[in-house]
Amino acid sequence: MASPAASFGKLIPAARAEWPSFHGSPVPERQDAHEVSYDFIRAMHHRLSQPVTTLRCSLEVMLATNASNARVADQVTRAIEQSDRVMELIVTFRALFEADRVEKDLCPASLTYVLNEVVEDLRPLGRDRAIEIVFPWNAAAVHVRASRPRLRQAVWNVVQNCLELAADGDEICVSLNSVGGRAEIAVRDRCEMSEADGARMFDPFSYCMNGRNGSKVSNLPLAVMQRMVLAAGGNVQSRVTAHGRRFKLELPTGVVSS
């Protein structure tokens, strides 16, 4: 009997000259690389979500039955944290792949309302560490041409990144202005980092580190934010100064025509 390796070696794909596309025939699979990527990441998300969720449920049962054993409980708790991290990465990588898809059916979205909502949701997390998120309550009403859920995700990603890197007692400032048909969101923090780290802030496979407290977080959410804003016809700028980082998100204002 042939070995598994030998059997596998017989599965040779057809030569390029035999592919349907070389004879002018349509191929059944879509050729668009972006669509193939979207299908792959959606399938991976679907296939991995169920086993990871099942694993987490089993770990929770194990934790409940071993609550009296401190050593086992600690190991199981760490395993649960890692399973949550895996799920978070799966979801975020899917968001990264889908972030640059241009929305066709856009509705007017209140950027002022979205900003207030995000700031109010994140403030309790900051106050646990005496970190204040400052956003003027009297910010002018600004509407933009963008998907509201994606707009909220983009704003959430940048403010949360600042919050995760902030040192205890820091301040994060958020402001909103409308200039020449463009809405400008400015976000400032006190995160100190090198110019090299600043140049990689939108690289999804790198990390940001705050030199003041040594905190370190993935740049993946910032990469998702940048792609979402660009897909909405906007622009993202960032710079590192001696006093912290500065982000500026620009989006087209106005009402979507019918």
Cα dihedral 88→91→92→94 (10° resolution): 160
Using one digit for the tens of pLDDT, what is the confidence trace for 9-65? 444 444 444 444 444 444 445 445 556 566 666 676 667 777 878 888 888 888 888
Q: Is the pLDDT of residue 102 over 70?
A: no
Tokens of 10: 């017989």
* Closest CA relative to residue 197, chosen from 214, 184, 182: 214
List CB contacts of 19: < 8 A, sequence separation 6 or more.
Answer: 27
Which residues have CB under 8 Å from 191's CB, separation 6+? 162, 165, 166, 208, 210, 212, 244, 245
Percent of the chain with pLDDT over 90: 27
Q: Where are the domains of the chain?
A: 33-98, 108-252
Mind listing the pLDDT tens digit for each residue in 34-49?
Answer: 565 666 666 766 677 7
Integer angstrom CA distances of residue 170 from 126, 128, 131, 160, 173: 9, 12, 5, 14, 10
pLDDT for res 90: 74
- Give tens-digit pLDDT for 169-203: 999 999 999 888 899 999 999 999 888 888 889 98
> What is the SS3 assignment for 58?
helix
CATH code, 108-252: 3.30.565.10
pLDDT of 77 higher than 70: yes
C-alpha to C-alpha distance for 82 and 20, rounded to whole angstroms: 45
d(C-alpha 155, C-alpha 229), whole Å: 9
